[in-house]
Structure 1
Amino acid sequence: MMNFVLLCLLCGLYGVFGKDKDQKGKFSIPVLDVRSRQLVLEANQTLLLNCRGHMELSWAFPAGLDRDLVEVYESRCGRKSRQYCSRLQVIHSQAQHTGLFRCRYRHSTQNQTSTYVFVTDSQQPFVEQTGMSPGVLYMKLNEPLVIPCRVTNPNITTTLVKFPNLSLTPDQRNIIWNSKQGFTIRTTTFFNIGLFHCQTVIQGVKYGSREYFVHRPVSNITEVYLNSSGTVQALKGKRLVLNCTATAELNTRVDITWEYPGKGNNRSSTSKRLLRHPMHMLFYSILVIPKLQRSDRGLYTCRVTSGEQSKQQRVTVIIYDRPFIRLKPRNGSVMVAQTGQKSYRISPKLRAFPAPEVIWLKDGIVAAEQCSRYHMDGTSLVIRDVAEEDAGKYTILVQIKEHGLYQNLTLTLVVNVSPQIGEKAVALQDPGSVPRGSRKVLPCTSHGVPPPHIQWLWHPCPSKGLPAAPRA
């Protein structure tokens, strides 16, 4: 008996859940009371659509229909009110209301059903009329292009017109007409770039649609560069200006964005400029921070995108609290060079901001005025073809006048000179015979830096034709 009761209970539960499952299966998508895929109304008629489903419903309708003109009534319906019903009503339908009406589940919008509604008006054959501003259509070569001059009556025949007055008749192969979509050009070429509209003739009167400008977007960014290629240094409280420039092919449109430490604090501003050259386009984006703070230091990135292409440039910004000069020897205060060197660079360690004025002195006189072999390279002093007279004291004067900062450093240059014997430069004459026991003076004059050490060697006369070894 107990088993029989349990079996009946399970059968009853299966029946309830089975019905519910069947019910949900029946309404896997909402159901409209309109069975045809399209409706045709006359202007000023009332549009009434009813929809039913197993969950809460919502509606989507053409963009030309103002939401305030749509009345929606919702209710529970069906057996034991397990279903949801929704009624959409539009009183005094107009030609611009032509389009697709969709009923869908509110929390599962991909499950939907639809019908296309034509609202016919002999005075308005096109949904989008002549008086509207031109629409922009983006074309990709060899891809379908839709010119959306939809009509309000499915029986209207139209012609596609390219400016100024070239008519294109649909051939249903490459140019296809559809009253719900407009004209589709299946394979596009450069010929399809330009201004288009559609036209039709009703009872001898010619009507035109909205104009559409077909543009072929180009996304070839040639180069991106900043007005500063190295690290940018600035003082706290000063103004920072960074200019990002992008070059691109003609007809390219780019988007330039900045990423930097203080982007969210609203203390900066950006401005953009566009210049068209005969062979390319120039895009400028200028970032300005009027008053720098320490928090503004860091990496600044200018990113340029066009379609799927993207390029960027980066620069590091360093912020100093105050101007400064830091000057010290690189390898001690005494330097050593050698005569005959092609060049010698005197380059102490110098860090300063803002950029300082640098003057070099040799023995208290401006170096560049003393010798044409002295010239400055940056903040270093370079001596070409080093000579003995280049030895001396060199002083670097560093100054930032606008901030009253001055500093100097004196370095000593020693120029080594290879030892030379003066007598080698004079042709030696044969001294002749010297009497035994007499005195003979042989001079040896030498010069060098540091002073050379002199050593004498004696070469005795050879004996019996044999060479004699030198003796000290």
Structure 2
Amino acid sequence: MICYILIICCGLAGNVLSKGSRSSSRLNTPVLSVTSKQIVIQASQTLQLQCKGKAQLAWTSPDSVHPDQGRLSIKEYRCGFQDQLHCSSLTLRGASAQDTGAYACKYSTKKRKRQAAVYVYIRDALKPFLELHSSIPEVVYLTEGRKLIIPCRVTAPDIPVTLKKFPEERLIPDGKKIIWNSKHGFIIPDPTYQFIGLLSCEATSNGVLYSTKYLTHRQVNTIFDVYLNATNPLKMLRGETLAINCTVTAEWNARVQITWDYPGKGNSSALITNRIDQSSSNIFHSILVIKQLKDTDRGVYSCNVQSGPSTRDTNTTLVIYDKPFISVKYRHRPTVEVTAGQDSFKLSLKVKAFPSPEVVWLKDGMIAAEKCARYKIDGYTLIIRDVSEEDAGSYTLKLGIQQHNLYRNLTVSLVVNVKPQIGEKAVSYQDPGTYLVGSKQALICTSHGFPPPRIQWLWHPCARNNTKGL
């Protein structure tokens, strides 16, 4: 009987060991020394947490806890059966109310994302709220379709907090429309216009009333237009100063974020200034300035605008030239032909220049626009309206960049072809006249045209008159 009992005990002990070994081998999630999801300690006390797992461990804590302050110490060591596990201890001395928050232990490798966490309240009778906005309210954005959180977190879970709307309206949490959560604050799942305005969270500690204020702002996200004050492509000389203004028009009460992408962004070579138009609160400007342009600054400059989920962008390409230049060539040949009577004719040459030069067209050595009202300059092109024979001649395109003492010109000949015309045809004869048989007569044909027309005479004999009696 005793042997039987010993066998059973040994079997149970074996099961316990086997379970223990299996549980240690299944530590997909680290294990904390505390089993509850939240704990409360007093301010100025020491917080101690231990964590174990089957791989190297790391800790996350509230932003107020910095290792370089000397209050925090983390020790790592091996633990468990035959030191098969990894253990880590976190010690925070002189804990303060601002250290309230989540403390989590996780595996340090990226492949293992699971963690064990505990929320630590650090009770302080003089600081019931983690953040106190008494004189200047904190702005909380209200976005349609998203829950609204009034983040008046407290340093202990049992502190009663009241939510009020200016001036004296009390908003009572009902667990549905308004939910109180000591770790987050007041949560409004489906906010309406009722919650727009000045809200305050109030709590009484040791007979003193504490109030932290929040200003809710209904955020709209509609972006109407985004445009630059620059052409595309934007051409400049090396060494010049670049200034691009990105203008954004958006819906009233919208708040936009403007960022730039440009070739020298990694070196922060640009000075960027953002401002709101003082005359209209829905027009925003972002000005990008680069002094002393270099070859590495050439490329695409993109203005990116974001307002909530809405995004827009626009861009331009910057071309940088080493020095100013003018190049002018014939499009086809130095002589151009046109026909008189044509409604309009464009006389143009191939021009490449930077910066843009002054343009003057000459006709036979005189300024064309002053010589004839039918001449009009459009860019580098001379437009001749109602082309006539007198428009034939030599035309010179003069180009100049005075500030760089750079000048070029090129002459093209315009030939105006005139359709042949017979002068006598324009005169209407009532009676061709009669002449005696055998008499000598002279026929005259006066013609005009360009090139000079070739005259050819043709004779078409008339049929004899067979009238009786003749």
The question of a shared fold, defined as TM-score above 0.5 by the shorter chain, is answered with yes
Report which stretch shifted further, 141-150 or 423-432.
Answer: 423-432
- Relative to structure 1, the CA distance from residue 268 to residue 117 in structure 2 (aligned partners, 3 Å threshold; closer, same or farther) is closer
Q: In the comparison of the two structures, how many residue pairs are matched?
A: 449
Provide the C-alpha distance between the structure 1 equivalents of 2:165 and 2:269, rounded to a whole number of angstroms.
49
Q: Does 1:146 align with 2:146?
A: no
Flag structure 2 segments of 5+ consecutive residues without an equivalent: 1-13
Report the AA paired with residue 22 of structure 1.
R
Report the AA paired with residue 181 of structure 2.
N
Q: Give the 5 Å matches for 1:431-470.
A: 431-463=432-464
- Relative to structure 1, the CA distance from residue 243 to residue 66 in structure 2 (aligned partners, 3 Å threshold; closer, same or farther) is closer
Q: Does 1:101 align with 2:103?
A: yes
Report the AA paired with residue 382 of structure 2.
L
- How far does the alpha carbon of each residue in 1:181-207 deviate from its partner, in whole angstroms, 9 at most, with x for none? 221101012443343320124565422
Q: Does 1:420 align with 2:426?
A: no
Match of residue 272, structure 1, among 271, 274, 285: 274
Provide the C-alpha distance between the structure 2 equivalents of 1:85 and 1:407, rounded to a whole number of angstroms.
82
Shift in Å at residue 174 of structure 1?
Answer: 0.7
Provide the C-alpha distance between the structure 2 equivalents of 1:27 and 1:371, rounded to a whole number of angstroms.
95
Q: Which residue of 2 aligns with 1:38?
A: 38
- How far does the alpha carbon of each residue in 1:165-194 deviate from its partner, in whole angstroms, 9 at most, with x for none? 432111221101122322110101244334
Q: Which residue of 2 aligns with 1:193?
A: 196
Provide the C-alpha distance between the structure 2 equivalents of 1:26 and 1:359, rounded to a whole number of angstroms.
87
Structure 2 residue matching 1:428: 3-state secondary structure = coil
Q: Which residue of 2 aligns with 1:70?
A: 72
Shift in Å at residue 385 of structure 1?
Answer: 0.5
- Relative to structure 1, the CA distance from residue 241 to residue 85 in structure 2 (aligned partners, 3 Å threshold; closer, same or farther) is closer
- How far does the alpha carbon of each residue in 1:205-252 deviate from its partner, in whole angstroms, 9 at most, with x for none? 42213x334344443332222222232222333333333333322322
Shift in Å at residue 449 of structure 1?
Answer: 1.3
Identity %: 43
Provide the C-alpha distance between the structure 1 equivalents of 2:220 and 2:63, rounded to a whole number of angstroms.
29
- How far does the alpha carbon of each residue in 1:433-463 deviate from its partner, in whole angstroms, 9 at most, with x for none? 3222112223221211122222333343333
What TM-score comes out, normalization by structure 1 length?
0.83
Structure 2 residue matching 1:161: 3-state secondary structure = strand
Q: Which residue of 2 aligns with 1:234?
A: 236
Conservation of the 8 A alpha-carbon contact between 1:294 and 1:319? yes
Conservation of the 8 A alpha-carbon contact between 1:104 and 1:110? yes
Provide the C-alpha distance between the structure 1 equivalents of 2:280 and 2:466, rounded to a whole number of angstroms.
93
Structure 2 residue matching 1:154: 3-state secondary structure = coil
Shift in Å at residue 69 of structure 1?
Answer: 2.6
- Relative to structure 1, the CA distance from residue 163 to residue 427 in structure 2 (aligned partners, 3 Å threshold; closer, same or farther) is same
Provide the C-alpha distance between the structure 1 equivalents of 2:52 and 2:433, rounded to a whole number of angstroms.
139
Flag structure 1 segments of 5+ consecutive residues without an equivalent: 1-13, 467-472
Conservation of the 8 A alpha-carbon contact between 2:248 and 2:284? yes
Provide the C-alpha distance between the structure 2 equivalents of 1:26 and 1:233, rounded to a whole number of angstroms.
65
Structure 1 residue matching 2:403: 3-state secondary structure = helix
- How far does the alpha carbon of each residue in 1:295-335 deviate from its partner, in whole angstroms, 9 at most, with x for none? 43333333333444433333333333332222222222222
Provide the C-alpha distance between the structure 2 equivalents of 1:63 and 1:328, rounded to a whole number of angstroms.
68
Q: Which residue of 2 aligns with 1:403?
A: 404
Q: Does 1:174 align with 2:173?
A: no
Report the AA paired with residue 422 of structure 1.
G
Q: Does 1:116 align with 2:111?
A: no
Q: Which residue of 1 aligns with 2:4?
A: none
Report the AA paired with residue 24 of structure 2.
K
Structure 2 residue matching 1:24: 3-state secondary structure = helix
Report the AA paired with residue 450 of structure 1.
P
Provide the C-alpha distance between the structure 2 equivalents of 1:303 and 1:336, rounded to a whole number of angstroms.
51
Shift in Å at residue 54 of structure 1?
Answer: 4.3
Conservation of the 8 A alpha-carbon contact between 1:42 and 1:120? yes
- How far does the alpha carbon of each residue in 1:25-50 deviate from its partner, in whole angstroms, 9 at most, with x for none? 46443444434333334444444444
Report the AA paired with residue 221 of structure 1.
I
Shift in Å at residue 156 of structure 1?
Answer: 2.6
Match of residue 186, structure 2, among 183, 186, 190: 183
Q: Does 1:208 align with 2:221?
A: no
Q: Which residue of 2 aligns with 1:3?
A: none
Shift in Å at residue 378 of structure 1?
Answer: 1.1
How large is the Cα RMSD of the aligned pairs?
Answer: 3.2
Q: Which residue of 1 aligns with 2:359?
A: 358
Provide the C-alpha distance between the structure 2 equivalents of 1:309 and 1:178, rounded to a whole number of angstroms.
31
Provide the C-alpha distance between the structure 2 equivalents of 1:331 and 1:132, rounded to a whole number of angstroms.
77
Shift in Å at residue 275 of structure 1?
Answer: 2.0
Structure 2 residue matching 1:117: 3-state secondary structure = strand
Provide the C-alpha distance between the structure 2 equivalents of 1:26 and 1:57, rounded to a whole number of angstroms.
16
Match of residue 219, structure 1, among 218, 221, 231: 221
What TM-score comes out, normalization by structure 2 length?
0.83
- Relative to structure 1, the CA distance from residue 324 to residue 150 in structure 2 (aligned partners, 3 Å threshold; closer, same or farther) is closer
